[in-house]
Amino acid sequence: MKKLFLSLMIMLASLATFAQAPSAYSLVVYNQTKCTQYFVVFGDEFCVCGSTYSSTIIAIPPSATFTYPNSVPLFGGTPKGIVGAKILDGTPGCTPNGGTVGQNVCGLPLSYGFMNISGNCTPCAQTKATWYPAVQSCQETAKLVFTP
């Protein structure tokens, strides 16, 4: 009986993992730091893990919030699925380093910690980028939050 119960629990856990959304329809970005943050959003067709489409480099000033009700402002054309973001450690002219965050069902990490580099190429602050994924549906909103 215990083995049957354990097998049932493992099966339900695996179904919950496969039920997660591989992309989001919209994105909200919060910068809760004192530094400007730079990132590139990427995605693919709805409900597909991929990076066929990507935005230009986006800069979000300190204490700002950006809302993208769909991917048109990011990718142009018709809306696509938003899968994740490439986080730059600082301004593109100062540092080529960065990490990626995004939909964990697509194998992407949910957070990335880094030393933010300011516009004059000096350290600004230790920063963490955290992705809060769309979970149950590809029509949901994902969140990208930068915190100190």
Mean pLDDT of the chain: 89
Average confidence (pLDDT) over 80-99: 93
Q: What is the pLDDT of residue 119?
A: 87
Q: What is the pLDDT of residue 57?
A: 96
Distance from the first to the final alpha carbon of the chain: 49
Residue labelled with tokens 């856990």? 13
Cβ neighbours of residue 7 under 8 Å, at least 6 residues apart?
A: none
Q: What is the pLDDT of residue 20?
A: 85
Single-letter amino acid code for the residue at 145? V
Q: Compute the distance between CA of residue 11 and CA of residue 119 in angstroms, rounded to an integer.
A: 50
Say whether 125 sits in a helix, a strand or coil.
strand
- Structural contact between residues 90 and 121, judged by C-beta atoms closer than 8 angstroms: yes
Residue 4 has pLDDT above 80, yes or no: no
Strand pairing partners for 54? 42
Binned at pLDDT 50, 70 and 90, residue 96 comes out as confident
Residue 111 has pLDDT above 50, yes or no: yes
- Structural contact between residues 135 and 18, judged by C-beta atoms closer than 8 angstroms: no
Q: Compute the distance between CA of residue 28 and CA of residue 147 in angstroms, rounded to an integer.
A: 14
- Structural contact between residues 47 and 21, judged by C-beta atoms closer than 8 angstroms: yes
Chain segment 6-62, per-residue pLDDT in tens: 343 443 333 344 468 999 999 999 999 999 999 999 999 999 999 999 999 999 999
Q: What is the pLDDT of residue 19?
A: 61
Q: What is the pLDDT of residue 10?
A: 41
